[in-house]
Amino acid sequence: MSQLLDKSKPARKSRWSWYLYDFGNSAYASVVLLAVYSTYFKNAVVGGAEGTRLWGISVGVAAILVAILSPILGTIADFTKGKKKFLLIFTALAILFTALLFFVREGDVLMGMLFFILAEIGYRAAQVFYDALLTDVSTPETIGFVSGKGWAVGMIGGIIILILVLIPIQFIGNHMIPYAFLITALFYLLSSIPTFLWVHERQEPETLPAGETKVGLAFKRLLQTFRDVKNYKEFIKYMVAFLIYNDGIMMLMDFAAIIGATLFGMGQIQLILFVITIQVAGTFGALLFGSISDKKSSKEAIIFSLLVLIASIIGLFFIKDIVWFFIIGAFAGFSLSGAQAVSRTMVSQLAPASKTAEFYGFLSVAGRTSTFVGPLVFGTISYRANNWYINNGFDALVAEQNGLLWAIGSILLFLVVGLLVLLIVRRVTAKNPMVYTTD
């Protein structure tokens, strides 16, 4: 019995170390993307509708660069057992440039965009290799729960960092906002350390063939994957669905704070409290939909979560009170976290065992395409509609609010179309897994 307990400890320690990385990188998402830097950049660094447009461009540029890198690096990581090495490199990049956001002040538009883009590249690229480690800390029967629990722990990390940031801003003032980025970088750093110490890759590294380089072999294997594409039809269908519905998710995440500030006049403290509400709800959503993924299927879990998210977005067109905005935000956070947690589970279930990082690289391409297309569409629609209302004699604030409502409508379109494509993807479970003859 004691031997069994001893064997279980490393697995439990490895899982919790993996969870803690989510605990740390969620601090970046909460502070930089959601609650603080996005609105700080829009309102303080740039100002007005132009700030919304430049924010969308910044997110999009980072997305394109990560989309180019991810499949190549993912393939290299698969045959070199290098997921943790790449994770370390991009985590360091994210932490460094998150800390450097401290120096961005009013009018520092180019610096604000450059530092954010580099931090975003680090954060998004690191996510590829972190997600690829999911199969190293779970089993086919528990993968949904482990993924959901990791996401839930991440939500808790997001809540804690926002409280740490909220207190100095509340009692000292908005001039403390730049210090929030230093706190976030330190939080991310400390939380990531256990992953590098105690998470171990199960796959053994392959020997590099004579005369081959890592990059050259990566391109050859990617080419072979494309040649074998007929064997991966279900994965391709899912990637199309993910690309589309993730557009809606990214639009909502990247512009949630801007929506709250513009439509409801929310200040920095209210925005932080709003994001905390989303994170609390998201904790329960990730756990629930992760369990649904194991008990039923990942496909059904994502469908349920998207239906709740669609209903939440529709509600935005019928509310005027900030209290209702918090309520809708809670439902959106609940479903959004579930969809994101289970999306990475589904990739593990659809990918060949020897190509997990490579396929997470493809997921990243779809995700980064979404990160580029979604915010670009949202920012463009909002900006164009705002200008139309201005040119037709509307008040500046009313014009910006109406422009945002048109952009919110585009979120709904992406979510609904993505859901419809998801319906044709095969239902995969631990008892009915994907089997590949080329694996």
Q: What is the CATH number of the domain that holds 415?
A: 1.20.1250.20
CB 310 within 8 A of CB 362: no
Give the residue, 69 or 387, on which the prediction is more confident: 387
Using CA atoms, how far apart are residues 203 and 206, in angstroms rounded to an integer? 9
With respect to residue 147, please indicate whether it lies within any of the assigned structural domains: yes
* Residue 10 covered by a domain: no
Does residue 282 contact residue 333 with C-beta atoms inside 8 Å?
Answer: yes
- Residue 300 near residue 144 (C-beta atoms within 8 A): no
Write down the pLDDT at residue 204: 62
112 pLDDT band, cuts 50/70/90, is very high
Alpha-carbon gap, residue 128 to 139, rounded angstroms: 19
Q: Which of 52-56, 302-306, 418-422 has the weakest average pLDDT? A: 52-56
Q: Tell me the residue range of the domain where 152 lies.
A: 15-198+222-422
Residue 281 lies in a domain: yes
Which tokens sit at 235?
């994965």
What is the distance between the alpha carbons of residues 231 and 2, in angstroms, rounded to a whole number?
Answer: 45
d(CA 285, CA 283): 5
pLDDT above 70 (res 190):
yes
Distances (CA, A) of 119 to 18, 52, 90, 433: 21, 19, 9, 37
In a domain, 396, yes or no: yes
Tell me how far apart the alpha carbons of residues 79 and 83 are, in angstroms, rounded to a whole number.
10
C-alpha angle 149-151-153 in degrees, rounded to nearest 5: 70
DSSP designation for 46: I
C-alpha 439 chain-centroid distance: 28
Instruction: For residue 426, give the DSSP letter.
Output: P
| Phi, psi dihedrals of residue 140, rounded to the nearest 5° | -55, -30
- Cβ-based burial of 85 (10 A; exposed 0-12, middle 13-18, buried ≥19): middle
Kindly report whether the global pTM for this prediction surpasses the value 0.75: yes
Distance of CA 353 to the CA centre of its chain: 23
Structure tokens at 355: 């190509």
pLDDT at 367 over 70: no
Q: Is 432 buried (19+), middle (13-18) or exposed (0-12) by CB count in 10 A?
A: exposed
Query: Per-residue pLDDT tens for 237-286?
Result: 998 999 899 888 888 877 887 888 888 888 878 888 888 898 899 999 99
Q: Is 212 helix (H, G, I), strand (E, B) or coil?
A: coil
Residue 9 falls within a domain, yes or no?
no
Alpha-carbon distance of 277 to 413, in angstroms, equals 25
Tell me the C-alpha distance between 256 and 302, whole Å: 21
Q: pLDDT tens, 55-90?
A: 878 987 888 888 888 878 777 777 677 889 999 999
Number of structural domains (the chain) is 1
Distance from CA of residue 81 to its chain's centroid? 24
**Strand intervals (E) in 100-245:** none
Cα–Cα nearest to 361, from 209, 161, 221, 179: 221
Whether residue 150 lies inside any domain: the answer is: yes
Mean pLDDT, range 119-128, rounded to an integer: 92
Of the candidates 255, 121, 264, 137, the one whose C-alpha atom is nearest the C-alpha of residue 195 is 137
Q: Is residue 214 part of a domain?
A: no
**Least confident window among 95-99, 118-122, 164-168, 402-406:** 164-168
| Residue whose tokens read 């952009």 | 407
Task: Determine contact, residues 313/411, Cβ cutoff 8 Å.
Answer: yes
Tokens of 76: 């290299």
Q: Locate 6 and state its tokens.
A: 């001893």
What is the spatial distance between Cα 358 and Cα 344, in angstroms, rounded to a whole number?
13
Structure tokens at 56: 């969308």
Quote the CA–CA distance of 240 and 223 in Å, as a whole number.
Answer: 20
Instruction: Give a yes or no: residue 241 inside a domain.
Output: yes
Indicate the SS3 state at residue 199.
Answer: coil
pLDDT of residue 438: 53
Q: Check if the beta carbon of residue 341 is closer than 8 Å to that of residue 151.
A: yes
The confidence score (pLDDT) of residue 257 equals 78
Task: Let me know: does 279 contact 162? Beta carbons within 8 Å.
Answer: yes
- Cα 262 from Cα 265, distance rounded (Å): 5
Whose structure tokens read 């990637």? 239
| pLDDT tens for each residue of 199-251 | 988 766 556 666 666 667 666 766 776 666 667 888 889 989 998 998 888 88
Helix (H, G, I), strand (E, B) or coil at 142: coil
What does the pLDDT read at residue 118? 97
Most confident of 56-60, 206-210, 365-369, 417-421: 417-421
- Collapsing DSSP to helix, strand or coil, 283 comes out as helix
Q: Please check the confidence at residue 422 and state whether its pLDDT lies above 70.
A: yes
